[in-house]
């Protein structure tokens, strides 16, 4: 069997960290993000993680997430009850509160006709704990069917709603807390303050985890791990790979060689910008491989989107491997794995590590160890790291782009003519979105070229040309997305410019489908 790349952990856990135990909630990642916004590092683990592994991380506190199960039903996810006796502060959210209550002797019952979903009035009875400094009348976001009827012995009720007599509870002596609502969502306006009170007032956190401290720790860890060996990094032009390259170069300098493969499927001027940034500004060793003709030939007569992905991924690996084999003493491959890649949704998958590349997989015959310095970070944190490292704004705020590039934004066969048409239209979309001040407010904004033509009239002449589909969405993490409600004048400018400036296009349409049921891309 060929030796697969080995994972190398390039950052030790910060001394001040919090463990979030995941019980299958859709909001678990949001909990982690809110904790990190308070400048405290946190890690998501499956709810059935052995207590010895939790304690080994030396957390300053633990948070139980919500979840879809009922804690009194057979097979419901549980936690080792010994966790309540280790002396660590614990905050239970929704299911987490119900589980804590049941395991410690409280009573949890079905909500019946008193189930709560959506914004709810919250009345605070005791503002001495999590609610310190907040109003006694708040708005919170509820999403639960069960409820705590009686809190465990030693707990006091600290808040209620019209339908939930125990909306929050606390045992301050043991530093155990529960809230029935979701402080992690934006619909609970004061939720971050509640989490901050837990972290700072009861966990003793000082808020020392910043992107500057992350960069310093990661730099030291990369140096210690790599030593005198050489590292290669595949640049795609996206924020993740660019940030990895800049961070690894900061740590080991000329021991890093970046490889940039121009597949011909890139956005307008993308290859030029990446070369200029890394060769000229950062003085990073960069091997540029112009393989546009090679990839286009491989895609000839291919229409199926999955085949396109596989062909581009396979060919990219071949090119990358050919170049890498000519570099001496390479032992490590740096890549931009992020935290959401590591913690896939769902409790059973929470600890699964993805071995991936953004265009379709790592070469199986590459006996390299992986350097993944961003694997602890969310996308917004990567952007802050990139800013700290001095990457230009055009790269820091570049919107997500699929590994196969424009090939999967062209339905049907990919040809040079179609690529040039789409590239020109896409550049107009991005330009107008930026001019309108919307580029950082939307998740993605791009053009799609369908494999169809329609009749039009241009200059008193009948035309038969392509339409361009606009796909502009808002999102936080791409798991769900909604179409952006753009001002009509912005849509009008985009449409007028595309039809007027891009040859072979006579119509522009706007995709107003959310995800789900649609996807963001059109492949």
Report, as residue numbers or ranges, the catalytic residues. 94, 182, 184
3-state SS, 344-380, equals: CCCHHHCCCCCCCCCCCCCCCCCCCEEECCCCCCCHH
Closest alpha carbon to 286 in 268, 273, 274, 270: 274
Contact 37, 62 (CB under 8 A): no
CA 135, distance to chain mean position in Å, is 33
Contact 54, 85 (CB under 8 A): no
Q: What is the DSSP letter of 13?
A: P
Distance CA 91, CA 66 (A): 11
Angstrom CA distances, 466 to 193, 495, 508, stand at 52, 13, 9
Distance CA 250, CA 394 (A): 20
List CB contacts of 393: < 8 A, sequence separation 6 or more. none
Contact 513, 471 (CB under 8 A): no
Angstrom CA distances, 32 to 35, 65, 94, stand at 5, 10, 15
Strand ordering across the sheet containing 17-22: 41-46, 17-22, 61-64, 90-93, 176-179, 168-171, 156-160, 116-124, 137-144
Distance CA 429, CA 472 (A): 9
Dump strand ranges (E) for 16-154. 17-22, 41-46, 61-64, 90-93, 107-110, 116-124, 137-144, 146-150
List CB contacts of 413: < 8 A, sequence separation 6 or more. 299, 300, 301, 302, 303, 451
Contact 131, 145 (CB under 8 A): no
Specify burial of residue 517 (Cβ count, 10 A radius: 0-12, 13-18, 19+): exposed
Distance CA 415, CA 297 (A): 9
Closest alpha carbon to 279 in 301, 303, 257: 257
Question: What is residue 417's three-state secondary structure?
Answer: helix
Dump strand ranges (E) for 249-381. 256-262, 285-290, 330-334, 369-371
Distance CA 440, CA 63 (A): 31
């Amino acid at each position: 069997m060929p030796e697969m790349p080995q994972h190398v952990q390039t950052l030790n856990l910060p001394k001040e960290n919090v463990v979030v135990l995941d019980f299958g909630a859709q909001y678990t990642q949001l909990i982690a993000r809110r904790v990190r916004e308070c400048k405290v590092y946190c890690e998501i683990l499956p709810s059935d993680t052995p207590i010895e592994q939790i304690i080994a991380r030396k957390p300053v506190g633990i948070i139980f997430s919500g979840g879809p199960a009922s804690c009194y039903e057979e097979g419901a996810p549980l936690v080792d009850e010994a966790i309540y006796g280790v002396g660590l502060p614990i905050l239970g959210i929704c299911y987490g509160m119900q589980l804590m209550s049941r395991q410690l002797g409280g009573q949890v019952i079905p909500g019946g006709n008193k189930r709560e979903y959506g914004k709810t009035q919250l009345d605070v009875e005791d503002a001495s704990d999590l609610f310190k400094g907040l109003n006694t009348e708040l708005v919170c976001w509820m999403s639960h069917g069960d409820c705590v009827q009686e809190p465990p012995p030693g707990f006091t009720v600290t808040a209620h709603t019209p339908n939930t007599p125990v909306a929050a509870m606390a045992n301050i002596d043991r530093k155990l807390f529960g809230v029935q609502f979701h402080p992690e969502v934006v619909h609970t306006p004061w939720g971050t303050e509640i989490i901050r009170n837990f972290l700072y007032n009861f966990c003793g956190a000082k808020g020392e985890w910043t992107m500057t401290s992350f960069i310093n720790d990661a730099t030291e860890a990369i140096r210690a791990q790599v030593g005198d060996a050489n590292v290669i990094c595949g640049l795609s032009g996206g924020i993740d790979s660019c940030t990895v390259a800049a961070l690894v170069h900061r740590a080991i300098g000329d021991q890093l060689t970046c490889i940039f493969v121009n597949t011909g499927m890139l956005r307008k001027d993308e290859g030029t910008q990446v070369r200029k940034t890394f060769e000229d500004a950062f003085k990073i060793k960069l091997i540029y491989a112009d393989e546009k003709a090679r990839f286009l030939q491989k895609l000839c007569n291919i229409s199926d989107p999955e085949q396109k992905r596989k062909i581009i991924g396979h060919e990219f690996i071949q090119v990358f491997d050919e170049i890498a084999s000519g570099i001496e003493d390479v032992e490590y491959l740096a890549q931009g794995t992020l935290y959401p890649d590591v913690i896939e949704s769902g409790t059973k998958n929470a600890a699964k590590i993805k071995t991936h590349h953004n265009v379709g997989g790592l070469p199986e015959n590459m006996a390299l160890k992986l350097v993944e310095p961003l694997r602890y970070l969310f996308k917004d944190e990567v952007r802050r790291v990139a800013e700290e490292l001095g990457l230009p704004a055009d790269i820091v705020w570049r919107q997500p782009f699929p590994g196969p590039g424009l090939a999967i934004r062209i339905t049907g066969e990919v040809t040079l003519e179609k690529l040039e048409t789409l590239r020109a239209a896409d550049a107009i979309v991005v330009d107008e979105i930026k001019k309108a001040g919307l580029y950082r407010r939307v998740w993605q904004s791009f053009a799609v070229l369908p494999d169809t033509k329609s009749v039009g009239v241009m200059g008193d002449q009948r035309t038969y040309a392509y339409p361009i589909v606009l796909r502009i969405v808002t999102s936080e993490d791409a798991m769900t997305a909604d179409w952006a409600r753009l001002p009509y004048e912005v849509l009008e400018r985009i449409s007028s410019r595309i039809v007027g400036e891009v040859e072979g296009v006579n119509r522009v349409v706007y995709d107003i489908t959310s995800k789900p049921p649609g996807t963001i891309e059109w492949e």
